[in-house]
Structure 1
Amino acid sequence: MKYDFDRIVDRKQTNDMKWHAKAVGSYLHMDIPEDMIPMWLADTEFPCAPVIVEALKNRVEKEIFGYCAPMESFYRAVCYWQKLRFNWEVKPEWITYIPSVVAGINIAIRAFSKEGDGVIIQQPVYDPFASIVKNDNRRVVNNGLVCRDGHFEMNLEELEELASRPENTMMILCSPHNPTGRVWKKEELTKAADICLKHHVMLVSDEIHGDIVYQGHTHYPLLSLDGRYAEHFIHLAAPGKTFNVAGLKASMSIIPNQSVREAFVKTQIAMSLDVKNTFGIESVIAAYTPEGAEWAEQEVTYMQENVNYVEEYLKEHMPGVTMIRPEGTFLCWLDLSGLHLGDQELFQRIVLDAAVICVPGPWFGPGGEEHFRLNIGCPRSILTEALERMRKELYRETP
């Protein structure tokens, strides 16, 4: 490989919250050991792509960091990336800069639903989906995923029934899916989108993990599949997961329909979420290039090897723990129900005793019981130590 994904950067010398026990403790509302291994927050441990680092250094040398706005080069970069990665022709005027995908979801909920409306999500799913809906005084409506023979699927019959209720006005789709790692097939996406169209449900597609897809699978931007979807729905994306630049606060909505886009932007401004980040803009322009694409491809290859490593490690050393192999994302969804320890004891042993900070499955809603989400976007040496700590504590004899 041209790039070294085994190199470890000491993030304790930065203000990155992931590696500071006090910050993690504040998040979990408990004391966390200083020797923790953080496998929770969904950013990676890889040094940023050199093309981005160099662009940011060049920008620092300009010496002024006032208010900024994306120019033609930003929009051109986003269009280039969508064409290169997904063969999707995006027009610059469809693109709006937003600080994060989570912010984009929040904006959309406030712009296209009213208090008391139902918002459909597919749990177990990224936990801010539910918290944003609740904080916006909307109702969480769970169209829970179904696990059949070790494979997660959408419950489309139930989705049809839920979408048919007039009080349910929105759906948030996670594509690829966090935490299960599913990369939805074209047929699954179109069936879900057709149901939303039929019942006038606004569909917001969170595609932040769209670049991280493993061999044998393909990510399809929902809006690229049918002109009707582009006319009615919202696409959200960002370089944050792919290039580990979440702290630069650069994401984008892609909304082809002008009236929908204008309503989105109007609410964004009302929420004071329209200020841009100087370095975020630069990171997008640098990342969405041939050099960025080369780096991203090698990163995905390395992480696929990490997935292979976890799969083999579990089979050999951790009986009773299984993993449905992720098709995308750098997140592994571990099923520990075979250990018969229960959620509280699993949390005690993994998070507190082993000091491996994974996200407990129940945080993702129904279907997450006795599961943990493990972030494998890291050098293999870190992953090895984390798994060995977990094994030691999970299989120790109780007094």
Structure 2
Amino acid sequence: MMKYDFDRVIDRSVTNDMKWHTGPVRSYLNVEVREDMIPMWIADMDFACPPCVVEAVKARAEKEIYGYCAPGADYFKAVTYWYKSRYGIALDPACICVVPSVVGAINAAIRAFTQPGEGVIIQQPVYEPFAGLIQQTGRTVVNNGLVCEQGRYRMNFEELEQLAAKPENKLLVLCSPHNPVGRVWSREELARLGRICKENGVLVVSDEIHSDIVYPGHKHTPFWTVEEDFAKHCIVCTAPGKTFNVAGLKMANTLIFDPDMRSRFDAQIKAMSLDVRNTFGLEGVAAAYSPEGEEWLEELLVYLKGNAELVRDYVQEHLPQVDFVEPEGTFLCWLDLTRTGLTDAEILKRVDVEAGVICVPGPWFGKGGERHLRLNIGCTRANLAAAMERIAQALQS
């Protein structure tokens, strides 16, 4: 029997949660949506945070002063505990740069280690802000698109070798585990990517925000541990936001092992005014990265795996025209609607607008996302079942 109740419904409509308010959805999709929507878009979960995090935030609130704060020894002890417990890695606290978000860290890295006009490699379909950041900073998006074979994605290493060899391409943003396709890259895949980049002087910025959400049969490998010298050629971006549903606490950790690179990154963080910490976030992270947080996570993974299986079974039984492969990691499902014959506009109209199941349209993730939907399964099983029923009705009409 599970200790934590992930079936408990929490009313998020009475707070300012973006996911559950029609205004942000309308702004995001540029369409009208139903008031009785089932929101499965933005990547946070509908579960209560771990009790240890809730208690830590409450205790801090009782201190009555919420001024500027900085991470202390307890914070760094918690982060290093997590890597030791989950991965058997002894992490040097000096390598940890505390930032408000992973997206902010990637933004700073692009600005610190490339120049306007230079190329940044990404692997689409992938989390849209990667391309957005590259364009907004005046750099060039270079797509090393993933290859899909029978629903399972792999990297195109042959093309990557060609792209990395071009002197104008200076940096690669890796999504590991991958959002939205749900791959947990193997050590061998990461090693091959890392060698190609190292040999061509391409810096790897590894977004590992989903690294704790990995299902049985798969294992996340922190990029810098793949080979001994990779630490000199990478930046690793992590955060507790996805793991513990604390994205609003605005805390992330960037791991940089080369002192000179760390200095350049820190200078850019200060230039972008990203060096102010969240008072409650510091307490929340220290509480989350603990044995109590780990116990909660293990039960969460069991529940999320059950949700992924529900989607698999429902697709097989009721949606034969939809292709779906269970994710190896993340709480995101990638549905391929190509065989329905519907266009992207028709998919959006039927599923998001008429059915009111707010998924992320596949084109948001770039080339290769056409006629796909990303479905967030970080919700109660009852809500997920209701969403799948609506999707089935919308596609069968």
**Does TM, scored on the shorter chain, surpass 0.5?**
yes
Give the letter for the 2:15 counterpart.
T
Whole-Å Cα distance in 2 between the matches of residues 250 and 330 of structure 1?
20
Matched, 1:215 2:216: yes
Deviations 1:368-387 (A, max 9, x none): 11100000011101101111
CA contact (8 A) 1:22 1:31 kept: no
Whole-Å Cα distance in 1 between the matches of residues 232 and 79 of structure 2?
19
Residues 192-231 of structure 1 aligned to structure 2 (within 5 Å): 192-231=193-232
Whole-Å Cα distance in 1 between the matches of residues 47 and 258 of structure 2?
37
Matched, 1:7 2:11: no
**Could you say which residue in structure 2 is the equivalent of 1:319?**
320
CA RMSD of aligned residues (A): 0.7
Give the letter for the 1:84 counterpart.
S
CA contact (8 A) 2:151 2:323 kept: no
CA contact (8 A) 1:170 1:201 kept: yes
Percent same amino acid among aligned pairs?
A: 55
**Could you say which residue in structure 2 is the equivalent of 1:140?**
141
Deviation of 1:229 after TM superposition, in Å, equals 1.1
**Could you say which residue in structure 1 is the equivalent of 2:330?**
329
TM-score normalised according to structure 1 size: 0.98
Deviation of 1:325 after TM superposition, in Å, equals 1.4
Deviations 1:46-65 (A, max 9, x none): 11100100111111111100
Residues 1-399 of structure 1 aligned to structure 2 (within 5 Å): 1-396=2-397
Deviation of 1:22 after TM superposition, in Å, equals 1.0
Deviation of 1:321 after TM superposition, in Å, equals 0.7
Report SS of the residue matched to 1:177. Answer: coil
Report SS of the residue matched to 1:323. Answer: coil
Report SS of the residue matched to 2:254. Answer: strand
Give the letter for the 1:19 counterpart.
W
CA contact (8 A) 2:344 2:371 kept: yes
Deviations 1:296-326 (A, max 9, x none): 0110110001011100000001120121210
Give the letter for the 1:324 counterpart.
V
Whole-Å Cα distance in 2 between the matches of residues 168 and 143 of structure 1?
12
Report SS of the residue matched to 1:178. Answer: coil
Deviations 1:326-385 (A, max 9, x none): 000000000011111111111100010001100010110111111000000111011011
Alignment gaps of 5+ in structure 1: none
Deviation of 1:30 after TM superposition, in Å, equals 2.6
Whole-Å Cα distance in 1 between the matches of residues 295 and 225 of structure 2?
24
Whole-Å Cα distance in 2 between the matches of residues 153 and 225 of structure 1?
18
Report SS of the residue matched to 1:235. Answer: strand
Whole-Å Cα distance in 2 between the matches of residues 86 and 219 of structure 1?
9
Report SS of the residue matched to 1:24. Answer: helix
Size of the aligned set, in residue pairs, is: 396
Report SS of the residue matched to 2:229. Answer: helix
Whole-Å Cα distance in 1 between the matches of residues 363 and 252 of structure 2?
28
CA contact (8 A) 2:241 2:247 kept: yes
Deviation of 1:150 after TM superposition, in Å, equals 2.4
Alignment gaps of 5+ in structure 2: none
Give the letter for the 2:390 counterpart.
R
Whole-Å Cα distance in 2 between the matches of residues 35 and 150 of structure 1?
32
Give the letter for the 2:99 counterpart.
I
Deviation of 1:216 after TM superposition, in Å, equals 0.3
CA contact (8 A) 1:22 1:32 kept: no
